């Protein structure tokens, strides 16, 4: 029973870390990355689809992303979706190829993005702590129902705390790496 609670908590905490990493991938760092456009959706003949299903997204060089539309009719739709996104990028179109130049970040913008990274990391830590709380409540329920002893309760809570510490360290590691990437340009 304790193993089930521990495994569930571990998988939920890992999901928190994965969500943080995907959120950090969306942040623009001044370097071109195909992941920057992952969250953009385009209207593909009446249905909203991710950009990657309507075009090939690749990195041309350190400051340029190239988007090759599968269909010529989608070029203007893709261009509009990129312009209206929250990225603040302006696409340049030549035939079926759209090029997006990534401008270098100003010092002020880097500091703002570093704050966003810290905020996202704190949100992930809160989510991990919520998982810990849920796991500890489940353990207390088992004690209340007399399914486990108080010694097992203490051991279970200690293991859950160790898991929490491990995943919080992973969050700190991911956010520190992103901050370093942002501020080292």
Report the distance separating Cα 154 and Cα 130, nearest Å: 19
From first to last of the 185 residues of the chain, give the pLDDT tens digit: 788 889 999 999 999 999 998 888 777 666 777 777 778 888 877 888 888 888 888 888 878 888 888 888 888 888 888 888 777 778 888 888 888 888 777 888 788 888 888 999 999 999 999 999 999 999 999 888 888 888 888 998 999 999 999 999 999 999 998 888 877 76
List Cβ neighbours of 43 (8 Å cut-off, separation of 6 or more).
77, 81
Total domains present in the chain: 2
Q: Helix 107-144 vs helix 150-183: angle between axes, to the nearest 10 degrees?
A: 170
Same domain assignment for residues 178 and 137: yes
> pTM here?
0.70
| Beta-bridge partners for 93 | 98
Q: Residue 90 sits in a domain of what CATH number?
A: 3.30.1360.40
Q: Are residues 97 and 112 in the same domain?
A: no
Domain that holds residue 94: 34-101
Same domain? 65 vs 113 = no
Separation CA 99–CA 91 (nearest Å): 6
Q: Which residue, 50, 79, 101, sits at the end of a domain?
A: 101
CATH label of the domain that carries residue 160: 1.10.132.20
């Amino acid at each position: 029973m304790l193993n089930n609670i521990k495994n569930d908590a571990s998988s939920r905490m890992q999901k928190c870390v994965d969500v943080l990493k995907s959120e950090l991938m969306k942040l623009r760092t001044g370097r071109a990355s195909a992941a920057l456009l992952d969250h953009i959706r385009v209207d593909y003949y009446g249905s909203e689809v991710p950009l990657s299903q309507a075009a090939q997204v690749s990195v041309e060089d350190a400051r340029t992303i190239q988007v090759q539309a599968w269909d010529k009719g989608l070029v203007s739709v893709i261009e509009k979706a990129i312009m209206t996104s929250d990225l603040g990028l302006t696409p340049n179109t030549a035939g079926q190829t759209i090029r997006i130049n990534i401008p270098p970040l100003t010092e002020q913008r880097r500091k703002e993005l570093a704050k966003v990274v810290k905020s996202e990391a704190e949100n992930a830590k809160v989510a991990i702590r919520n998982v810990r709380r849920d796991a500890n409540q489940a353990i207390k329920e088992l004690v209340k129902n007399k399914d486990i002893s108080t010694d097992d309760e203490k051991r279970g809570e200690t293991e859950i705390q160790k898991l929490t510490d491990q995943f919080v360290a992973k969050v700190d590691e991911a956010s520190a790496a992103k901050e370093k990437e942002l501020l080292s340009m």
